[in-house]
Structure 1
């Protein structure tokens, strides 16, 4: 259970009367409610508050759960004065009164030293002044429904127009109602009553019609005391939960890297003596490469020296070979058609930028180019199955496998593997070696693993059949580490 779920569970039990025991000696909530109604009538008679519209009776269909017999279901408007919208003004560095806004309420606290000022006339000031036990509720935006109770006396402060003030008719019920305003029941009511999509909001009428369980006063006090004892324990649980989650996440990352590293060292699956050794596979790849050059399907690449002992990244099985990445596929970077020609874009040919790379199969791109854009630039077409890697910038080392025919920008390099190289094995090899590849690009103002650096990078080449067994094993193990 997450800390958020635990807090919600505690508050839900509190609202259902399951957090503390009922005491038959408590004065029932019906009596408390009669006293609140009498107090409201007296205040109206004395013209201290305005008479409000009688709210509809709560029917059984509105009650979300059963409550103890000594409790009562009430509407917020039954136990409060008429809600008041805040003052519309601009926040200023100087003024005649503090001006509390939604943004000033952080972590259920207000740093009054940082609250700005506004200027307000005396006739409006009296009705908007904040007092101890005033309840403020955000009525719009991303924080709609968020509540805050004024606990301490403040010197001359009013509240902004995006807040609604509730003044409960009995200060003794404020602590319990404050907990109700954090409960799942309240938040469900808010969700059901907000209107608007771009800027969700709730008005005072809907707020006053929200229903709330009202326990006997003494039980309210026991509930609040119990919550106040439990919540610090939940806070401690949250710290432990977050530490454990961090450990779990780190463990998963390390396990994934370990699996990949074991795979690339030939330790994840057993070698099969019946497999054609990588040395024979390498001869076939060289013959294929010569034929492709002869047919002018690829360009002749510069001959690179054999992998030296110092370059070998780790020990590999006897039937494997160390080669360079240039020997396992044809690599090529992309290009960006001129932006000064709008007709080069939005033409239906997928054009991949490094931000589109997802360490998986690429099935779409964020931009497309036209045939004219392709014809008038040096973009390179990558066919489904080609390996893609980001060469520089914030996404350096990010990978993908083309799931569609696509082109790329110049920050991405694509590889069409030769026969005998399983593209998914190359993908996982590059994923395992990503930290080392990124290190190859360090040292400049912008990290850059150029096509040349990629082609020079050492590659541990297993027999073809073992490549497939390795990929199958990796793909069985990796989902087990996904949370």
Structure 2
């Protein structure tokens, strides 16, 4: 099977195998990786370095002749005093010959293919506002030379560098530290130098750099680099190991055919990526349009009509994690707009519920159990984002709370508590929509706990400081919460009347309406740390349903979210299956 047939015969597999990229925290960041096309690129390179991408020609000059020319050129450099006589490297052992060679090919070590394998200057260079570009790993690890934001060194520093430290056209740069294993071919004589974490593979006149760039980009080379990399926190490929890497070298004419074929097939992969990317973008626009129409519906008839359009194409609409996450947000929005469950005319209206809560608070004030609250400003018409059903009522969050308070942040141990020891909750305990008691730090034995800050079942906890995405995220403390866990000062607790369903408030707090509010009022100068005050949380406008309807909404949302999670699981399983099939095709092709 030819390489082009390998692509076209499995086209659905290459374009259909996609995976969701993970963010640094829980969940995903909405970005998709085209795993199938990535595997296809790797397969093309793997076939290239094994001599399985193009046909061999018995009339080609064998690789041994090319190796003799390179050896003669290195010997001349040694004679001229331009490089030191290289140390003799060990003969290539049988276990270093990783596959059977085609006719005319020959195994050789990397050091014998270049004039010299070295790296950048080991001394920290002087800085300069202008002058010669000085490239570091970040200027190379994208796979090309990036001069846009590079450091500079004085001209006289560059002038005194040995010629081997100055990359020239035809050389290959190779990252050896951190993001190691990335080769970049130098295509122009630009005049620049590099840091010590970048290897410089200086080409001699006969060095086949286009083909060697292909080899160094391949999974084959990456596997070998992985096997010789040293270090723990930051891995490094030592130059001594890099020089000993063994590669299979084809005849010169075949090298040209391989490079041309790789370029042709990579261009085909580019087109496939563009096509899949366009399809995914169109899919995203369609999902957004239909869900937007659903959430903008003004009555039950419009909701039914919009949902019918979605249901008709459900299997083709919700095929990515991002689209399912958008469906979840649409469910939340319908829930808090009173369009997810039917209203019951026999339910006590929310206006009476608010009166009962006010009476309860007045009674507790009279009994000395609460301080007299400050007057709460009524919602203004211009602040109300949408109309709610007749038996609902807009109110401030503070109207529903009996009281609220922040926690305490003493200097804690860096480890979680053990057993029933006292611990202080981190903001990550409430950042993901559900309460996580494991996210805590142990209170030192030298400090006395503050029992009044211990969280209790049904407490509504909200973070007042976090990233822009996570600030003001909330959770409800469950009935089975472990004892002796206190709030930190970055967590605010609201205790609601028993007539208020804290889980309804939690799902509203995680809806787009609330998130838009917090994005407007949150303080902080960077997205990495935003904060909201307790007063800003108290002022959040809440669409309050009757007490019984709150429970029906929470139950319906729980059911629908479980269905969405099940859909995600099936989607991930299908994605994993397609990825495994792609890997199986790759393995079969190279074996």
The answer as to 2:188 corresponding to 1:134 is no
SS in 2 for 1:195: coil
In structure 2, the partner of 1:226 is 261
Question: What's the CA shift for 1:207?
Answer: 0.5
> Where do residues 372-387 of structure 1 align in structure 2 (5 Å cutoff)?
375=450, 380-387=453-460
Q: Contact 1:83 / 1:167 at 8 angstroms: preserved in 2?
A: yes
* Partner Cα separation in structure 2 for residue 467 and residue 99 of structure 1: 62
In structure 2, the partner of 1:470 is 556
In structure 2, the partner of 1:193 is 228
Q: Contact 1:399 / 1:427 at 8 angstroms: preserved in 2?
A: yes
Q: Sort the Cα spacing of 1:26 and 1:352 in 2 relative to 1 into closer, same or farther, 3 A.
A: same
Structure 1 unaligned regions, length at least 5: none
Specify which of 461, 476, 501 is matched with residue 401 of structure 1: 476
In structure 1, the partner of 2:109 is 75
In structure 1, the partner of 2:248 is 213
Specify which of 309, 333, 341 is matched with residue 261 of structure 1: 333
Specify which of 184, 201, 212 is matched with residue 166 of structure 1: 201
In structure 1, the partner of 2:211 is 176
SS in 2 for 1:212: strand
**Max radius of gyration: which structure?**
1
Larger mean CA deviation between 306-315 and 143-152 belongs to 306-315
SS in 2 for 1:332: strand
Question: What's the CA shift for 1:261?
Answer: 1.1
> Where do residues 58-73 of structure 1 align in structure 2 (5 Å cutoff)?
58-59=93-94, 61-73=95-107
* Partner Cα separation in structure 2 for residue 5 and residue 291 of structure 1: 68
Q: Sort the Cα spacing of 1:288 and 1:165 in 2 relative to 1 into closer, same or farther, 3 A.
A: same
Question: What's the CA shift for 1:177?
Answer: 0.2
In structure 1, the partner of 2:9 is none
Q: Sort the Cα spacing of 1:349 and 1:158 in 2 relative to 1 into closer, same or farther, 3 A.
A: same
* Partner Cα separation in structure 1 for residue 337 and residue 112 of structure 2: 73
- Listed one character per residue, the Cα deviations across residues 208-261 of structure 1 (whole Å, up to 9, x for unaligned) are 222222222112111212233344454455556566666367745543321111
Q: Contact 2:353 / 2:547 at 8 angstroms: preserved in 1?
A: no
* Partner Cα separation in structure 2 for residue 298 and residue 458 of structure 1: 25
Q: Contact 1:101 / 1:162 at 8 angstroms: preserved in 2?
A: no
Larger mean CA deviation between 48-57 and 441-450 belongs to 441-450
Q: Contact 1:438 / 1:449 at 8 angstroms: preserved in 2?
A: no
Specify which of 471, 489, 493 is matched with residue 414 of structure 1: 493
* Partner Cα separation in structure 2 for residue 84 and residue 444 of structure 1: 47
SS in 2 for 1:133: coil
Q: TM-score, normalised by structure 1?
A: 0.76
Q: Sort the Cα spacing of 1:266 and 1:168 in 2 relative to 1 into closer, same or farther, 3 A.
A: same
Specify which of 332, 335, 347 is matched with residue 277 of structure 1: 347
The answer as to 2:199 corresponding to 1:125 is no
* Partner Cα separation in structure 1 for residue 210 and residue 383 of structure 2: 69
> Where do residues 15-414 of structure 1 align in structure 2 (5 Å cutoff)?
15-33=49-67, 35-36=69-70, 50-59=85-94, 61-92=95-126, 100-103=134-137, 105-106=139-140, 107=142, 108-109=144-145, 111=147, 115-117=152-154, 119=156, 125-126=162-163, 128-140=165-177, 142-154=178-190, 159-168=194-203, 171-235=206-270, 237-238=272-273, 247=284, 251-252=323-324, 254-269=326-341, 277-279=347-349, 282=353, 286=357, 314=386, 325-326=397-398, 328-336=400-408, 349-352=422-425, 354=427, 357-360=430-433, 361-365=435-439, 367=441, 375=450, 380-391=453-464, 394=468, 396-402=471-477, 404=482, 406-410=485-489, 412-414=491-493
Q: Contact 1:91 / 1:118 at 8 angstroms: preserved in 2?
A: no
Question: What's the CA shift for 1:32?
Answer: 3.8
Specify which of 515, 518, 526 is matched with residue 435 of structure 1: 515
Question: What's the CA shift for 1:139?
Answer: 3.1
Question: What's the CA shift for 1:195?
Answer: 0.6
* Partner Cα separation in structure 1 for residue 75 and residue 263 of structure 2: 33
Q: CA RMSD in A?
A: 4.8
Structure 2 unaligned regions, length at least 5: 1-16, 18-33, 285-319, 526-530, 573-591
